[in-house]
Chains A and B, each alone.
Chain A
Amino acid sequence: MKGEQQNKKVKTIKVDLDKCNACRACEMACSAYHASPKYSSINPARSRIRVVMDLLNDEFVPIRSCDYSKAGCDGRRTYAINGKEYSECSFCGTICPTRDLFKEPDSGLPLKCDMCEDEKEPLCVQACPGGALIVEEIEEGIEQVKPGEMEIGMRSLIDKYGMQKVADTLARMKKKS
């Protein structure tokens, strides 16, 4: 099943937590850019980047939405960094059911960062003159996998029942046979 390995230049956004001044302009700009027509409305809840903030803990973490997850993960670890406590969620961009970040307020549909493709730089980066958000180009090895018919079928079963249930069923069937 393994596809061939390819190197591809990928744009990403590097976050320098120490430079964040909590202005949330990144949220504002993202929501404006994705409004229709462009810039016609502002609503941070529509943003694909949110600043996770906890003032008493001096925690300011801009996180960008990435993949959609139908199930919550078991990531409940906390990290102490320089005397401040961060939960794993503070750094996680997964669009997940356990928190209401990155969901279209009207429909609840996931909002995924698209790096503002037709712009020279993503709008959140443009709105961050303090340099907390910086565009980086990284080389990433990407596995080119062409999903087969069986994989597509399996995927839909997994989506419907969850990985565990499918695995259990498979194991049970294997045992029987």
Chain B
Amino acid sequence: MRYAEAGYNLEIDLSRGNIERVEADPNLTKLYLGGQGVNAKIIWDRVGPEVDPFSPDNLLIFGTGLLHGTPVIGANRTVVNTISPQTGLFAHSMMGGWFGPEMKFAGYDRIIINGKASDLVYLWINNDKVEIRDASHLRGKGATETAALIKEELKEPNAQVAAIGLAGENRVYTASIEHGWSSAARGVGVIMGDKRLKAIAIRGNKDINIAQPAELWEITMRMRKEMHDSDGVGDWMAVDEDDSFHHNNFAWGNARSRLKDYWSEELEERWRNLKYDHMDRQIGCYNCPKKCINVISYPGRKRFGYKCYGKDTYHMGAFKELDFSYEILGVAQEYGFDSYSTPQILAFAVELYEAGILTEKDLPDFPADSGERFWYLLEKVVRREGIGDVLANGVYWAARQIGNGAEEYDHNTTKKFEQVPIKLGKLNPPYFLMIATGEKMNITQIEGSFPQDPLPTREEREAFVNNWVAVPNEKFKQYFLNWEKRSDVTNEMSCAITDWNEAMHYIDDAIGLCAFVSSFRGQFGGGIAYHINNIPHIISLATGMDLDKDGLWEIFQRNRNLVRAINVRRGLRRADEKPPEDHWAVRDHEFEQKLLDDYYEFKGWTMDGIPTSETLDKLGLNYVSEDFLQRGILTGKEGTPSAEKDVELESGGC
């Protein structure tokens, strides 16, 4: 019997209309756990570097986390992976809600989609019964509207649906996959659209078995209560109406201006009223007691849900207020737009117009008001109409297609992807490393365990570390105790912090845990529900695997290096590992490059950011090193084993 897993993959070939239920290899679970880990292995094996993202051979994989369907609280994030046309690299995306657990109950650990349908279709999965169904009647329909229509036509109110809107259908690069009030962003909606797959509806009523039921139950029931009562997990911004953090510190417009004194009590009161006048409720995701999602019904709009910074991006891009976001979110959600990168594309176009690079010819009857301009552009982009066809490829590609100096205005992308609009003064070394070397394209998917800022007094720092159970290694306590100024961080410390932060995300994305109860939240207060010290035991109880902290850390290293390997094979090199030039006002090239050297060495990568054979082989990724040698990516002369490197592979060692 397999525990925690369903034990089967669903293989769908949309070109041939072929459907197969294939037993999942249990060895892959031991090596990569699940979620993004196993997805990466499948993409490494089956999507070579020669495969164009828009080729039918590109795969779109919906993966459950290993702990989906078990009683483990907050294990509900469905992982979606493919190769992104925007970056040319491995696309990493997740969505909350109920989809992943339902996949498990239907009997599948992942849905692997291959090929392209000849016309728009949707997938209906009801346990072992799987159908590819015509979706031409759903063409152009909104994402949540599509979900409602499908449930109605199937007479399956309990089915879970993930769907794309018009943006995905038209292969807009920032298209998202929407499920309930959650969405999967960063390069997956466009591929779903390219495969002409409008939606997946799924329903299941099979059992998920637990290896050590009594003990896991006792732990999870206790954790549910603790997490419900704790401020240390979940999205505190769902209830904290003081959002001065984003508005005073993040950049407005095309990641351009900071309005440091924007926030005021008057504004807070006005926005609070706007919110509570239109909020129906706050909800959570499958088997999680938190309420991170605000559900809003706004006049003339379909109901929509948002969380965290997602409520700010549109109005900050357009220099407007919250009511503008409320107006646009209900529409953008139906179109299926990623609310992080899309507003930046719109703001980028506005700047180009103001600079005279885009003209009346490109934007006929362009309105004068910044908000109306956003609406105008949104409609152009979602339909790929006129200039919208160019903007739909994201800021990086649009800038190059427009030319005429537009490249200068692409100032906030890394690896061709729009970054969170943060513009600060002094270089923050761990953040330099995380933005430069991260492969999840958004800092929120990389940062999160080590605090962002030091505490002012030694006493406070001591009190903090005394309750800090999440640390993988005592040395992090020492780092924190002696840390006084934000930018004052040794390279050794930066390497270790980056590694730990990344580790927790890679673990979450393999087992399906939400970052808000795990990898993202420890940085704000330290008291987090899940960490490297309790996750191994929880995985063991659920799955029956014999896993300890070092074993889990090794799986993180394996998954991390495998994702890097996919990208290296597609051409990622040191030259690409650059945060936006203006991310910090004060830069020090020499210092940054030394830091990057140190980090590469710490990770066991070459000075070009390529994992060495030694690093790969130690993690059992021999098939990667062999491939690298064969392709000449590695020469085999990249250094010899040293005693220091043995230490590096241990938990959080630097």
Contacts and interface: CB of A to CB of B under 8 A. Distances in A.
Interface of A: 18, 21-25, 28-29, 32, 35, 37-46, 50, 52-58, 60, 105, 126-127, 129-130
Contacts of B228: 129-130
Interface in B112-146: 144-145
A28 B287 contact: yes
B283 A22 contact: yes
Given A25-B288, A45-B204, A58-B295, 4 more contacts: A18-B281, A24-B287, A58-B280, A130-B291
A32 B286 contact: no
Interface of B: 69-71, 98, 105, 144-145, 147-148, 157-158, 180-181, 204-210, 213-214, 216-217, 221, 224-225, 228-229, 280-291, 295, 297, 302-303, 305
A60 B281 CA distance: 10
A42 B224 contact: no
A60 B295 CA distance: 12
Given A22-B284, A24-B286, A56 B217 contact: no
Nearest to B229: A129
Contact of A42 (B69, B158, B221, B297): B69
26 contacts: A21-B284, A21-B291, A22-B283, A22-B285, A23-B285, A23-B287, A25-B287, A25-B288, A37-B213, A38-B213, A39-B213, A39-B214, A39-B217, A40-B209, A42-B208, A43-B206, A45-B105, A45-B205, A46-B205, A46-B207, A53-B157, A56-B302, A56-B303, A57-B303, A129-B229, A130-B228
B105 A127 contact: no
Contacts of A35: 207, 213
A41 B280 CA distance: 34
Contacts of B217: 32, 38-39
B289 A52 contact: no
Given A58-B303, A129-B225, A52 B157 contact: yes
Contacts of A25: 224, 287-289
A56 B144 CA distance: 8
Contacts of A43: 105, 205-208
Nearest to A51: B158
A6 B287 CA distance: 41
A60 B98 CA distance: 14
Contacts of B71: 28-29, 32, 39, 42
Contacts of A130: 228, 289, 291
Contacts of A45: 105, 204-206
Given A23-B286, A28-B287, A58-B303, A39 B297 contact: no
A56 B145 CA distance: 8
A42 to B, nearest CB: 5
B216 A39 contact: yes
